[in-house]
A and B are shown apart, each in its own frame.
Chain A
Amino acid sequence: MTLTANKIALSEKYTALFHANRAKLDEGSSDLLNRMRDIALKRFEKTGIPGFKNENYKYTNLTRVFDKEYQHLFEYETIDVDLNEAFRCDVPQLDTDVVLLVNGWYYAKNQPLTDLPKGVVIGSLRQVANERPELVQDYLNRQAGLSDDPLVALNTAFAQDGFFMFVPDNVVVEKPIQVINLMRSEESVFATQRNLIVAGKNSQAKVIFCDHTMSTCDFLANNVTEAFVGQDAVVDVYTIQNQNNQANSVNSAFYKQGANSNLLTNMATLHGGLIRNNLNIILDGEHAEAHMYGMSFTDKKQHVDNFTNVEHAKPNCMSNQVYKNVLDEDSVGAFAGRIHVVRDAQKTNAFQRNNNVLLTDSATMNTKPQLIIDADDVKCSHGATVGQIDEEALFYLRARGIGEADARLMLMNAFAHEVIQEIRVEPLRDRIDELVEKRLKGELSRCHSCDKN
């Protein structure tokens, strides 16, 4: 079969899967989600699974992970998960409100969060969409639906459940909400998770997503998160990706920011197989600020691709991106960052930086900035570096009696430090610092029985 024929067959596989399970999909979800499926599927069919020729996916071959056979869970599986078991790994045990999702489904036995401020809703997207559709309908797919990414459409076609959070206007949620996304199965599983976060005007919230696996099967997750950050709202979203190296995922996030809002995203990728993170942000009100940070530490055959797309739709906004990667062994990394300053979005400040350290000759990094500027009074910059450990600094440390291995570790930690120090939740910053150090030392456990890696 030729490549193209193969790609068509692959896309048809998912289309056929959709039609064969349409009733189950609807039954296991909510009207609000169900009514989007047909249009989304059509949109998916237009492009299919993106191949190398798709400019946005040129550094990541997704066909190899979409091609495998997976089990699809179109209804909620009643299983028991011991949260303590999930915490057997080095998941940060912070003072957070914790909810669990298993294979993309909101876990039914999550303890109700009783200490939330009045009006805050946290729960299953499916359930909230059924019980309080007014909280969901004005937001669901309002950003993701505009995307021409076929995988976002594929998510919309198959999505049944996910994490939902609603924070009313003027409400501050003090405690971070920690969302543990577990992949757990005895067989290979394909999951489609759909998350929605709505932060009202002048509200504040912090969400920590922790992606984990509890078995060593092949996993593929095609997730979409939409977040609406209201005027004057302050929202932090941290993600720690620490899955087994057979777990592959595409995570597409869409943020829409109102005037004077302040958003911080921080993506820490520690372990995992093929990971593609799409971060789309639209600054849709004046004086909005978006701070985007990312770091990944890869080895073996890991493949981590971060794609960002920031749209400055209004004047006087600020965006800043800092992404760093440390690549060991045969791992591959990619960073593509797009900044689009639309016409008349004057006084825009948009910055982007991507720094990478290659520890071996066989590690590969692809980096591509893309600035599209249609306004004439803006300040935009981008920079990318790919290099090795600074030999001068290494010698300096060794000349003070610090052994070579420790000195290298110190320098790699220092490299990541710039991203870590931007974490605005202090205990989380300390935990991630610790996790990164462990990761660099090769001591980070990859969830249980992950020795297979």
Chain B
Amino acid sequence: MLTIKNLRVAVEGKEILKGINLEIKAGEIHAIMGPNGSGKSTLGNVLAGKEEYEILEGEVFYEGEDLLELSPEDRARKGLFMSFQYPVEIPGVPMVNFIKTSVNEHRKFKGLEPLTAGEFLKLMREKKEMVHLDSQLTNRSVNEGFSGGEKKKNEIFQMAMLEPKLSILDETDSGLDIDALKIVAEGVNALKHPERSTIVITHYQRLLDYIIPDYVHVLYQGKIVKSAGKELALELEEKGYDWLKTHTL
């Protein structure tokens, strides 16, 4: 589904990703872990199409297509979804309009008719329940006045509405208490499907107690220094990232 080959990326002249190689097949869950500043979020942002990054070298193929050539909106319409680490507040854009436009843009891209008002509301109700999102929140502007936990739930809610093929969860666990963490994980697990893949970007292991990865990669100083099964996460938790430094050097 996703193939990253020797990806090197700079921000404002500074090289952040120094040659990433990654292969994600349909149905797999990959965790990318690493200390702060290792380039985890940069990887997520580059995949989602944020523009301030300079691609120095490398290729990214998504379902056989050159991902880096696509606009962010086309990536989204083709089934790539990023749950933002810091979802932005957009005062004046009502949640309902936003979600509706988003869903219908996805449908249009697939050649489907827009949902009727009734269908849309039904879908929204269903998905809101799934992530236990407070009903009132969808009456507000996008993320406006949401708590940290609500913002993250709102990301998973959008993910549930859009049913993406490849989801990138960028530090979705940060700032969540254990109950919210469980709800978010449940939402992600409920969407699990042999045709869908997930990249979980996280600093801590605890989210991986609830979303069980098939592979764990450790990103350190812009490179994947170690890849293994889910047991690697536990090892990291136990020994800390310092263990990695001595281990790799």
Contact = CB atoms under 8 A, between A and B. Distances in A.
Interface of A: 390, 392-393, 395-404, 406-407, 410-411, 413-418
B93 A411 contact: yes
B148 interface: no
A402 B88 contact: no
A406 B101 contact: yes
Interface string B74-107: 0111000110100110111100011001100110
Interface string B29-68: 0000000000000000000111100000000000000000
B162 A400 contact: yes
Contact of A398 (B49, B97, B158): B49
Given A396-B142, A398-B49, A414-B90, 15 more contacts: A390-B90, A395-B49, A395-B50, A395-B72, A396-B90, A397-B98, A397-B102, A398-B72, A398-B73, A399-B81, A400-B105, A401-B76, A411-B90, A414-B141, A418-B91
Contacts of A415: 92
Contacts of A396: 84, 87-88, 90, 142
A414 B88 contact: no
Question: Of B81, B101, B162, which is in contact with the most chain A CB atoms at under 10 Å from its CB?
Answer: B101
Contacts of B84: 396, 399
B141 A401 contact: no
Contacts of A401: 73, 76-77, 102, 105-106, 109, 162
B71 interface: yes
Given A398-B71, A414-B92, A403 B105 contact: yes
Question: Of A401, A402, A406, A410, which is in contact with the most chain B CB atoms at under 10 Å from its CB?
Answer: A401
B48 A399 contact: yes
A403 B73 contact: yes
B91 A402 contact: no
A410 B101 contact: yes
Contacts of B101: 402, 406, 410
Contacts of B48: 399
Contacts of A399: 48-49, 72-73, 75-76, 81-82, 84
10 contacts: A395-B50, A396-B88, A398-B72, A399-B75, A399-B76, A400-B158, A402-B101, A410-B98, A414-B90, A414-B92
A435 B238 CA distance: 61
Given A395-B72, A410-B93, A414-B93, A400 B88 contact: no
A295 to B, nearest CB: 12
A414 B101 CA distance: 14
Contacts of A417: 91-92
A357 to B, nearest CB: 12
Interface string B160-180: 001000000000000000000
Contacts of A410: 93, 97-98, 101
Contacts of B141: 414
Nearest to B79: A401
Contacts of B158: 400
Contact of B51 (A390, A395, A407, A414): A395
Chain A contact residues, majority secondary structure:
helix
A414 B102 CA distance: 16
B124 to A, nearest CB: 14
Question: Of B72, B81, B105, B106, which is in contact with the most chain A CB atoms at under 10 Å from its CB?
Answer: B72
Contacts of A413: 92-93
A121 B159 CA distance: 59
Nearest to B161: A400
A401 B82 CA distance: 11
A421 B182 CA distance: 38
9 closest cross-chain pairs (CB), A and B: A414-B92, A417-B92, A401-B76, A398-B72, A400-B102, A401-B105, A414-B93, A398-B73, A401-B77
A402 B102 contact: yes
A407 B98 CA distance: 10
B92 A404 contact: no
A393 B105 CA distance: 17
A416 B93 CA distance: 10
B88 A393 contact: yes
Contacts of A393: 88, 90, 93
A392 B92 contact: no
B162 to A, nearest CB: 7
Contacts of A397: 90, 93, 98, 102
Nearest to A419: B92
Interface in B113-162: 141-142, 158, 162
Contacts of A414: 90-93, 141
Question: Of B48, B71, B92, which is in contact with the most chain A CB atoms at under 10 Å from its CB?
Answer: B92
A402 B82 CA distance: 14
B71 A404 contact: yes
A400 B90 contact: no
A397 B72 CA distance: 9
A390 B89 CA distance: 11
A411 B91 CA distance: 9
A430 to B, nearest CB: 14
Nearest to B158: A400
A402 B142 CA distance: 14
A430 B121 CA distance: 22
Nearest to B77: A401
Contacts of B49: 395, 398-399
A403 B33 CA distance: 32
Contacts of A406: 101, 105
B92 A418 contact: yes
B195 to A, nearest CB: 19
B48 to A, nearest CB: 5
Contacts of B77: 401
A414 B143 CA distance: 13
A395 to B, nearest CB: 6
A392 B51 CA distance: 10
B76 A400 contact: yes
Nearest to A396: B88
B150 to A, nearest CB: 16
Contacts of B50: 395
